[in-house]
A and B are shown apart, each in its own frame.
Chain A
Amino acid sequence: MLERAIVLGASAVGAGIAMIAGLGPGIGQGFAAGKGCEAVGRQPEAQSDITRTMLLGCAVAESTGIYSLVIALILIFMNPLVNML
């Protein structure tokens, strides 16, 4: 019972720590959005192209955050570590 509790608690903490990776995409997407605003300010007629490119870049920058999210989801909802006990 105690081992199970320790594993479950440590998994919850691990899921929380995994989500620290959300910092990276946040910074990256903010940077991309800022640069996008600058570009629109300089060239308002190209707004649709700039928005499209920015959204694409944001989505690609997001992948690392999504990986950490998947790891957190696995740790919380289908914990593989409990079955190892």
Chain B
Amino acid sequence: MEGPKIIFTIPLLGGIPVTETVVNSWFIILAVFIACRLITRRLQKVPSGVQVLAEKYVTMVCKLVDDTMGKNKQRYAPYIGTVFLFSALGSLISLLGCRAVTADLNTTLSWALVTFVMTQWGGIRTKGLLSWLKGFLDPVPVMLPMNIMSELVNPISLSFRHFGNISAGMVITMLIYSGLAALTNIVFQGLLPVPIFQLGLPAILSIYFDVFSGVLQAFIFCMLTMVFVGMATDP
């Protein structure tokens, strides 16, 4: 397995490498942006066509935020909806043969850090700075290092979970591909120029590893974000 390829380097600060991951995420951002513009261009009172789908998605996210975080937390719904869409599409882009955006720790770690900042900032804003700081001394002051650790570990576990699932799928798919190529070589004694056994079987596995796992991890990332932020902002 290789890391993401470097497409080009920005000649700034000693060269900033721009990898495949970043370029693929630009494509996703562009696609989502264009789709949003096209769908919301002619909104009607009675929805039809893709507007039904868009409204269904927005209602679903709002309901999910309502159910998980409680009432009057609707201002987090746009972020949750965006992250879900970005993450799901970032995993599903591997169906097109591109490298999955989420199979890179940089991507998932940056989302997890956004969640971390949101959690802490929400805690400070609802509880006030002093009682937020006092929360770290709960239930006894000896627990201070434990409490700090348990906050710091959240983004790490959040990002590693997403990254690990997607890249594990990538590694397993790659192993199966090379195994099938070797099998073709053995059966046909190298007479066939095309590894014919690679047809079919990887597609079935791809349904699990790319489609199911990708969407599930996106959902879980959003769910855990909602749970963390909801717990921190509960008065």
A interface residues with partner B (beta carbon < 8 Å): 52, 55-56, 59-60, 62-63, 66-67, 69-70, 73, 77
Given contacts A56-B220, A59-B217, A73-B171, 20 further A-B contacts (CB under 8 A): A55-B220, A56-B223, A56-B224, A59-B161, A59-B220, A59-B224, A60-B224, A62-B165, A63-B157, A66-B160, A66-B161, A66-B165, A66-B168, A67-B160, A69-B168, A70-B163, A70-B164, A73-B1, A73-B167, A77-B1
Kindly state the separation between the CA atoms of A63 and B168 in the bound complex, as whole angstroms.
13
A-side contacts of B111, CB under 8 Å? none
Interface of chain A, helix or strand or loop or mixed?
helix
Interface size band for B: 10 to 19
B-side contacts of A67, CB under 8 Å? 160, 164
How far is the CB of B63 from the nearest CB of chain A, in Å? 12
How far is the CB of A26 from the nearest CB of chain B, in Å? 14
Interface of chain B, helix or strand or loop or mixed?
helix
Closest 6 CB pairs of A and B: A66-B164, A59-B220, A63-B157, A69-B164, A66-B161, A77-B1
Kindly state the separation between the CA atoms of A70 and B156 in the bound complex, as whole angstroms.
12
How far is the CB of A12 from the nearest CB of chain B, in Å? 14
How far is the CB of A48 from the nearest CB of chain B, in Å? 11
Q: Is B83 in the interface zone, CB < 8 Å from A? A: no
- Known A56-B223, A73-B167; judge A63-B160 contact (CB<8 A): yes
How far is the CB of B9 from the nearest CB of chain A, in Å? 21
A-side contacts of B216, CB under 8 Å? 55, 59
Kindly state the separation between the CA atoms of A62 and B157 in the bound complex, as whole angstroms.
10
